Amino acid sequence: MASKRSLITLCLFLFYFSLTLCLCYGTRTLSPLSSSTNDVLLRMSPAERLIRSFNLFPRKSVNIRKGSSDDVFVPGKLVEKKFSFLADSSVQELGHHAGYYSLPRTKAARMFYFFFESRNNNSKDAPVVIWLTGGPGCGSELALFYENGPFKITNNMSLVSNDYGWDKVSNLIYVDQPTGTGFSYSSDESDLRHDETGVSNDLYDFLQAFFKQHPQFVNNDFYITGESYAGHYIPALASRIHQANKQKQAILINLKGFAIGNGLTNPGIQYAAYTDFALSNKLITQSDYNNINSRVQGCEQEVKNCATEGGDHCAAAKATCDQIFQSILSAAGNVNYYDIRKKCEGALCYDFSNVDKLLNDNSVKKALGVDDDLDYVSCSDEVYFDMVNDFMVNYDVGIPPLLEDGIRFLAYAGEEDLICNWLGNIRWVSAMKWSGQKEFNAAPTVQYKVNGVEAGSLSSHGPLTFLKVYKAGHLVPMDQPEAALDMLTRWMQGKLN
């Protein structure tokens, strides 16, 4: 397995190196590179670009602990403790938990998680919400501390309460997954995941153990949320839970809905939308558009090959289709592809480095029950590469059966994001075949207002809702925290329509 992964990594590196030479020196009609920013970005692998754009510098590429002196691995064991990051609050009153779950379908993998009981007095009745960060290979603490968690990190490394944390209306779980991400780790490389079957099984097993640990929440409504590459994770997990519930396999998880923010779900449709989005937002010229669009047909064919043949055909599809995105970046200059209103300085588009500093502090690790010698891996390039054959798989195919059974689905997208833009998302949502497809596509688009102020546009029919969020990029809860909390609240109440 390791040699195969190394071969795939080498092939992708050689592809991107040759692509860089083509973009920088080949004969083309694209707009000239505006700065050295493009040279920096184009020399990077997609995984490295992801990590460096957030100003993250994990000490390790993956959390594999060789020769670890850990306790004996007990499959299915969950160890949890309460903690407090805030000096003026007791451990007991906050209801903040951190723990490890020993994944039973692995040789030695432990999944790390946070659990925050709702800060309001109705925690016993509030829905349970799990958040999944994408990447693949980025820890969910990026969302916890910069988007929708109970607190945020200040520049002086102190924590302050987040007025728009999603724990105000839910009991909130954050998970570091797949294995090797964040504080999740193993001593055996074979535990690293390569597809959504492994990912969804691990998450399902964790949720079973979680509800055994917290039986008071078993009957509460349950929702799956996340963004970016979680557009793969979320439909897979929702389908896994739904099928298990129907077969009465174990504890019934009261799944009511799932929400994907600026997700990658149907790559064949979403990659083809890149040029239209870029042209309409004046990131590229008409000449650029015509030139780059010539790559779309080849991309679509490779995606079909991935669907029918699988395996390395999917890695080939990613390499081919990424040419579209790379070409747009080359033409657009130093645009922040997570938020086109902003610029990137070199490879840096955001500065999330404080999360690395905070979680690698030994006193913080001790409070969370994490061993001193375990590093926090904010984003893992090895986990990213191990999922390379999963990228171009279409995961909207599992959604229609969920809709037919009345499980609500919210797709939302910040309008300023390029990499998982709203246009590609509304196209795959509209193309998805289910009994309400015609009615959804005919439904009027209405204003979405928060406290009387227009904050987006919304389309809905039955259990399906699509929301475009104004003045937001890839990270909607960070860019528009009040709107994001309002969106979640109304959607869980069945009032986002």
The listed range with the strongest mean pLDDT (55-69, 205-219, 329-343) is 205-219
Contact of 347 with 44, CB cutoff 8 Å: yes
Per-residue pLDDT at 60 exceeds 90: no
284, 318, 350: which is the final residue of a domain? 350
The residue annotated as part of the active site, out of 61, 102, 118, 228, is 228
Per-residue pLDDT at 9 exceeds 50: no
Measured CA to CA, the distance from residue 118 to residue 120 in angstroms comes to: 5
Candidates 282, 267, 255, 266; CA nearest to 409 is 255
Using DSSP's 3-state secondary structure scheme, residue 261 falls into strand
- Confidence band of 129 (pLDDT split at 50, 70, 90): very high
350, 373, 402: which is the final residue of a domain? 350
CA-CA distances (angstroms) from residue 223 to 11, 334, 462?
Answer: 39, 37, 17
> What pLDDT is attached to residue 44?
53
In one-letter notation, the amino acid at residue 231 is: G
Task: Indicate if 228 belongs to the active site.
Answer: yes
Compare 331 and 90 and report the one with higher pLDDT.
331
Task: Give the distance from CA 280 to its chain's centroid.
Answer: 26
CA-CA distances (angstroms) from residue 253 to 155, 246, 429?
Answer: 39, 10, 26
- In this structure, the answer to whether residues 296 and 258 fall within a common structural domain is no
- In this structure, the answer to whether residues 132 and 248 fall within a common structural domain is yes
- In this structure, the answer to whether residues 157 and 255 fall within a common structural domain is yes
Compare 319 and 87 and report the one with higher pLDDT.
319
**Which residue has 């349950």 as its token pair?**
222
Mean pLDDT for the chain?
A: 87
- Confidence band of 61 (pLDDT split at 50, 70, 90): low
Cβ neighbours for 458, distance < 8 A, ≥ 6 positions apart:
445, 446, 447, 448, 465, 466, 467, 468, 496, 497
- In this structure, the answer to whether residues 85 and 28 fall within a common structural domain is no
The reply to whether 170 falls in a domain is yes
Per-residue pLDDT at 402 exceeds 90: yes
Element (DSSP H or E) covering residue 371: none
Lowest mean pLDDT among 18-27, 276-285, 349-358, 426-435: 18-27
Taking the CA of residue 324 as centre, how many other CA atoms within 13 Å lie in the half-sphere pointing to its CB?
29
- In this structure, the answer to whether residues 111 and 176 fall within a common structural domain is yes
- Confidence band of 47 (pLDDT split at 50, 70, 90): low
Contact of 196 with 239, CB cutoff 8 Å: no
> What pLDDT is attached to residue 17?
30
Per-residue pLDDT at 458 exceeds 70: yes
> What pLDDT is attached to residue 346?
58
How many residues are listed for the chain in this entry? Answer: 497
- Confidence band of 84 (pLDDT split at 50, 70, 90): confident
**Which residue has 């798989």 as its token pair?**
393
For residue range 136-184, list pLDDT tens digits in order.
999 999 999 999 999 999 888 889 999 999 999 999 999 999 999 999 9
For residue range 214-233, list pLDDT tens digits in order.
999 999 999 999 999 999 99
The residue annotated as part of the active site, out of 417, 459, 460, 486, is 417
Beta-sheet strand order (sheet of 222-228): 78-82, 96-102, 110-116, 171-175, 128-132, 222-228, 255-263, 408-414, 464-469, 453-461, 446-450
Backbone dihedral angles phi then psi of residue 60, each to the nearest 5 degrees: -125, 155
**Residue 207 class from Cβ within 10 Å (0-12 exposed, 13-18 middle, 19+ buried)?**
buried
- In this structure, the answer to whether residues 258 and 282 fall within a common structural domain is no
350, 370, 405: which is the final residue of a domain? 350
**Which residue has 């839970």 as its token pair?**
241
The reply to whether 84 falls in a domain is yes
Question: How many domains are there within the chain?
Answer: 2
Task: Indicate if 417 belongs to the active site.
Answer: yes
Per-residue pLDDT at 88 exceeds 80: no
Per-residue pLDDT at 389 exceeds 90: yes
- Confidence band of 12 (pLDDT split at 50, 70, 90): very low
Per-residue pLDDT at 460 exceeds 70: yes
What pairs with residue 70 in β-bridges?
A: none
CATH number of the domain encompassing residue 481: 3.40.50.1820
The reply to whether 373 falls in a domain is no
Contact of 260 with 134, CB cutoff 8 Å: no
Q: Residue 249's domain spans which residues?
A: 78-265+392-492
Task: Indicate if 97 belongs to the active site.
Answer: no
> What pLDDT is attached to residue 37?
44
> What pLDDT is attached to residue 22?
32
Per-residue pLDDT at 33 exceeds 50: no
- In this structure, the answer to whether residues 220 and 299 fall within a common structural domain is no
- In this structure, the answer to whether residues 230 and 275 fall within a common structural domain is no
